[in-house]
Amino acid sequence: MGVSTTMTIRVTPDLKEKLGRLAQGTRRTKSFLAAEALDAYVNRELEIIEGIQRGLADMAAGRVIPHDEVMAQADKIIADARQKRAARQ
């Protein structure tokens, strides 16, 4: 295991009890499970924020497709899918 540091957080008694049950059932420590969960949450949230930032940068740079064009493409995809489904029936 790599270098780690200590952090204190407050959780509800219910969450603490559930974490204890999960730790017992998985033979992992509560600390390990909490760190894994926090890591997954932080990574997911950072991906979202970074995606929004990339989108805003694209918008500022003019790398966008007009709404009407996107909707026309989506409508065509839906119509084509309906035709294919109707042809199979």
In sequence order, the 6+-apart residues with CB closer than 8 A to the CB of 14 are: none
Q: Which residues contact 9 (CB under 8 A, 6 or more apart)?
A: 34
Cα distance between residue 87 and residue 54, in whole Å: 41
2-19: average pLDDT: 95
Summarised one tens digit per residue, pLDDT across range 11-45 is 999 999 999 999 999 999 999 999 999 999 999 99
Which pTM does this prediction carry? 0.71
Confidence of residue 2 (pLDDT cuts 50, 70, 90): confident
pLDDT in tens, 49-88: 999 999 999 999 999 999 999 999 999 999 999 999 999 9
Q: How confident is the model at residue 1 (pLDDT cuts 50, 70, 90)?
A: low
